[in-house]
Structure 1
Amino acid sequence: MTLSIEEIRAAKQAAPKARPRELARDLGIPEAALCAARIGQGATRINVTPDALIPRLTALGPVMALTRNESCVIEKVGVYDDYRSGAHAALVVNEEIDLRLFPAHWVYGFALEEETERGVKRSVQIFDAAGDAIHKIHLREESEVSQWAGLVDALRLPDQDPVLSFAPRKPTEAAKLNPEKLADLVAGWEALEDTHQFLRLCSKLKMNRLGAYRLAGAPFVRPLANEAVEQLLHQAAEQAVPIMVFVGNAGCIEIHTGPIRRVVETGPWINVLDPGFDLHLRRDHIAETYAVVKNTARGPAHSVEFFDAEGGLIAQIFGVLRAGEAAVTGWNSLVADLPGARQVEAAQ
């Protein structure tokens, strides 16, 4: 049953503190429909083509950048400096805000203002064709609020119709492997000079990331216990080992590089709660975990990568190769000590 704009507004008013993603799921509508229903009541449809939007965000000063998938949320505080345009993939690259943007998925966007107990909350929110959130930018107390109205006016679309048309959500691609191409996979893997070459190798062999990991085996891939992710975060914090965390969806990947300090468990969530960086991970969504090594010009890149029950990539954690030999050695030791999947099975 399709809800009317009035029904969506009433549901939002009845649950003012509900998280938008959860409220949309309960109502059986895309999250973007919640935003669209507020057009004329604190929401404005805007142009979210990255070339139009991202350079204008710099003027807002420090903001919070949020990217998520169903199982993991990453939040970084910083300024949207150093935007690099690209038709297929655009970039924001600086110490705090490090993003990979895929413009084809940036379909709907809104500038939102909402009255709260702490004052007016302002954000820019981007959604894909299915109405699922791609990326969000939240203003903070230290943001340049004086620049907000100009940004909204510059990006406002002529069409402010609150009724949007959404495409069906694309299902997650399950593991795709091609056992007949194992020898080619091994040869291609050995020839890697950059981690970015890996997905091109998989595509050439008609596989995907998870399929290749299941097929390859040692010395490239080691299946890990799913509890290994929790152990890794705790030990990286305790030993001050810098890490790179990649969290994303089809339209955006957000990256944290550096040490982590405070790791906290709350129900099914494991959280990193540091100044300028938060990570929220649903441990109970992790279905498969792998330690992976790929060759690069700087040396082998060791990562821990984990997937949900449908085969979707939740997140990847790498060491920081540019951080120096001691940091790389510390990271590689952490990964080597993680329990393998068979170790846990045997213990049970």
Structure 2
Amino acid sequence: MSNTSPSAAEIRLARQENPKARERDLSESLGITEAQLVAAHVGHGATAVTANPDQLIAAAERLGEVMALTRTLSVVHEKVGTYANYRSGPHASAVIAEEIDLRLFPKHWCHAFAVEKEGEDSPRRSLQIFDAAGDAVHKIHLRNTSNHDLWDDIIANLKSDAQFDTLAVQPRQAPEGPKSNHDKLDILRDEWNRMSDTHQFLRLTSKLKMNRLGAYRIAGEPFVRALAPGCIPTMMDRISESGTPVMIFVGNRGCIQIHSGPIEKIVPMGPWLNVMDPRFNLHLRADHVAEVWAVEKPTQRGPAISVEAFDKHGTLIMQVFGVRKQDKDFVPQWREIMNSLPSLEPEAV
């Protein structure tokens, strides 16, 4: 970030001069955050609104069919559907609808805007939420089929008293990196064996002063298997070819978004590996994948198995599970795909 940030007028001019640039790319070129780029347009197509997820998700439910977007530096997850079945909580909330399936962490919902831009045929409208550092947490994009007639009323209800075209942000938190504790390895393996639910895993690693990747690096088989980092395209092709339904989790500090079902159209494009299905898109920077692990965790419904990808900093990029059937976590077709993926060669460890 530059010590001297451009003015709001300069940011708007840069946007006009680079109409096709992605928000994140443009903001980085200007030395600002994406939230500051959007804030510069308050009064010029953007309105500051409450960042409270209780109110924002209630608004999203009124909008009908929309596109939900959650992203990180390495992956973008887009789902078309309707927001419904919202469950509020002080530390974690959830949207558990047929197509839009989210886990929300309200403390990271710090800044929000309603954004309206000119489109070729009609306005392009969205609700955009950012964390304290100004990075995007979640976005809700209206489609042609959305309830556009409710937009003005929704924005009036959400509108913040403070309408400023500048925004103060906090420094980004540094990636945690893998944390292992070899002294607790026996305890890790013993308690891993006795898990009855996958949600117990993070509590276990926290208790042992580890994190997810740190635990994977020392646990060994049968709990984990290190896979070749380049196996993700092969995995996605095999999921597509077999029609195996999967759950694909992508998340940042403020939101985890989940796709459940098959994937069909895989389109590689440069460093990007894309799923381009009618109601689900995934855009993965395959070159960001530094470690991949096949993971098995016991549950009351049978073993839950996943393939999990991490970047060079040890940050989780995405997780893929089989879609359980008849209240069973074990999915034989998914295990076959996972077992077919190449292991990391020992000399490369």
What corresponds to 1:56 in structure 2?
59
Map 1:1-348 → 2, pairs under 5 A: 1-322=4-325, 328-342=331-345
Name the amino acid aligned to 1:262: K
Displacement of 1:231 after TM fit?
0.8
Q: In structure 2, what is the Cα distance between the partners aligned to 1:325 and 1:80?
A: 26
Give aligned pairs, total. Answer: 346
Give the drift of 1:183: 0.5
Amino acid at match of 1:235: R
336-345 vs 86-95, greater mean Cα deviation:
336-345
For 1:194 and 1:110, the matched residues in 2 are separated by 37
Moved more, 149-158 or 318-327: 318-327
RMSD value, Cα = 1.5
| AA matched with 1:281 | L
Change (3 A) 1:58 1:118: same
For the residue of structure 2 that corresponds to 1:116, the secondary structure is: coil
Letter in 1 for 2:296: V
TM-score by length of 1: 0.97
CA deviation after TM superposition for structure 1 residue 160, in Å: 0.3
The one-letter code matched in structure 1 to 2:178 is A
Could you tell me the TM-score, scaled by structure 2's length?
Answer: 0.97
Percent identical residues = 52
Could you give the per-residue CA deviations for residues 41-78 of structure 1, whole angstroms, max 9, x where no partner exists?
A: 11000002111110121111000000001101100000
Q: 5+ unaligned residues in a row in structure 1: which ranges?
A: none
3-state SS of paired residue (1:297):
coil
Query: What code does the residue aligned with 1:256 have?
Result: H
Residue-by-residue CA offset, 1:213-235 (whole Å, 9 max, x unaligned) = 00101110000001221111100
SS in 2 for 1:227: helix
| Other structure's SS at 1:61 match | coil
Task: Sort the Cα spacing of 1:59 and 1:21 in 2 relative to 1 into closer, same or farther, 3 A.
Answer: same
> What SS does structure 2 have at the residue aligned with 1:321?
coil
SS in 2 for 1:303: strand
